Amino acid sequence: MDKDKDRELMHRLLDGELSAEEQRDALRRIGSDPALKEEFELLARTVRSVEEAERVPVEGSFVSEVMARLPGQRPGTARRLRDFLFRDRVLRWNVAWAAVALALVLLVTGGLFLTANRLTPVVATNSAGNTVLTRFTFHDPDAEAVSLAGDFNRWSVKEGAMKRKEGGLWTIEIPLKPGTYNYMFVVDGKVWVTDPEAGVYRDDGFGNRNSIIRVSTL
Amino acid sequence: MRSETFPLGFRLMDRNDAELAEEQSIVRQCIGGRQEAYAVLVRRYQEMVYNVAYRMVGDTEAAKDIAQESFISAYSGLRGFRSDARFSTWLYRIVMNKCQDHLRKERPHVPVEEMAESVASTRNNPEQELRRSQTIARLQSALDLLPAGYREVIILKHMEGLSYEEMEKVLGVKAGALKVKTHRAREMLKKVMKEEGILDG
């Protein structure tokens, strides 16, 4: 057998393309020639070193960075209006912007809503019977169940079961009277999570922070 | 020779039908305007896309940019995505194209004949004892010495575990030709790794 043929045989063996009989013959052929055997072992080790190569870990912020860079949609007017009214509002704050916003709030309300810089996704559809339908959202695609617990349901883990939507977004809408409420999300019935998108937090006295929401009739 | 010394193990890359159906559903939702659904696909494939890019360009920062741009391009072109195709196949194609673009811009193509020379010139530090913990970098240094086209087939075949038929869909080159190319790529990688002392011990 010539060298090229031997070489092709070795590669086909590596690719698992030989029948059981061909494989046996190939192994016998390679094993009978020390030079060929050494060459095949080197080749096999080369392939194995690639196959067993460790994966380089991805930064935790990768998904959110991609999502933030996606091109915007161009929905129709009705859709845009609806999105404007009902979209989940996520604002990112730094100290400078917080100061500007606070100044604006003070200016407009005369300090009436000093702690009213709510950031939690809230939708006030209308006040009916003096309550405001308020939407809470939480993103966790890996959760089996998420519930909303707060002052308004006596911190019950069971009452505020949230519904899962596509993409691991959990939502719930509950009627709340105007006022200020403490709340947290409970993941899988046991892990208490502070709303990362809440604008105001308050220590709960147990080493955690509650998220604060202020509901007002607009 | 014992049979277990042969690397004949195959990685089962076939995703199950449920996952395929789910991906098609996610794609439809994205096209329908539910942008947030796309996060599921990004999360699922981020490691794959990032690692392919890293192994192709050998630089983590560039790999991150390429990986992110790949996902954004994939999203922008979702309408052109054939629903009977695999999302992963499509992603591989996009990331490979972006890597090739990057390499064309970043460094000149090194012809095969010059490879041996470049390998020889890197051997001027014989005392250097490379430890096991440096495996990733060592393998990368060997991969970097291959022409991009060889690196491409090695990554898809042996890191990603694709079949030649799947590689044909990704690269748009006939499986038979890819087989020959992969054989040559392996031979060159073997030579480089041997000369670099990576296969010792």
SS3 of residue B2 by DSSP: coil
Structure tokens at B137: 């970098």
Is residue B83 left, alpha or beta, with left meaning phi > 0 and alpha meaning psi from -120 to 50? alpha
| CB-CB contact of B154 with A50 (8 Å) | yes
Confidence at residue A2, expressed as pLDDT on a 0 to 100 scale: 80
Of A45, A73, A141, the CB nearest to B199: A45
Return the closest-CA partner of residue B168 out of B85, B110, B55.
B85
| CB-CB contact of B72 with A71 (8 Å) | yes
Q: Do A14 and B186 touch (CB under 8 A)?
A: yes
- Tell me the residues of A at the B interface, defined by beta carbons under 8 Å apart: 7-8, 11, 13-16, 27, 30-31, 37, 41-51, 53-59, 62-63, 65-67, 69-71, 73, 75, 79, 141, 166-169
- How far CA A16 is from CA of A29, B159, B190, in Å, comes to 16, 16, 19
Element (H, E) at A45: helix A34-51
- How far CA B35 is from CA of A72, A73, A88, in Å, comes to 9, 8, 13
Confidence at residue A95, expressed as pLDDT on a 0 to 100 scale: 64
Structure tokens at A86: 């009902």
Structure tokens at A92: 């990112």
Dist. CA B25–CA A54, nearest whole Å = 32
Confidence at residue A199, expressed as pLDDT on a 0 to 100 scale: 65
Interface test with A, best of B22, B98, B158 (most A CBs within 10 A): B158
Distance (Å) from the alpha carbon of A114 to chain B's nearest alpha carbon: 33
Distance (Å) from the alpha carbon of B105 to chain A's nearest alpha carbon: 23
Q: Do B72 and A66 touch (CB under 8 A)?
A: yes
Instruction: Give the ipTM of the model, two decimals please.
Output: 0.77
Q: Is B66 on the interface with A (CB under 8 A)?
A: no
| CB-CB contact of A119 with A197 (8 Å) | yes
Of B9, B43, B136, the CB nearest to A63: B43
Confidence at residue A106, expressed as pLDDT on a 0 to 100 scale: 61
Q: How far apart are the first and last CA of chain A?
A: 88
pLDDT along chain B (201 residues), means of 10: 36 57 85 87 94 92 95 91 83 96 73 37 41 65 92 96 95 96 96 85 54
Q: How far apart are the first and last CA of chain B?
A: 18
pLDDT along chain A (218 residues), means of 10: 86 92 92 92 92 86 93 59 59 62 62 38 50 85 88 79 90 85 82 74 59 68
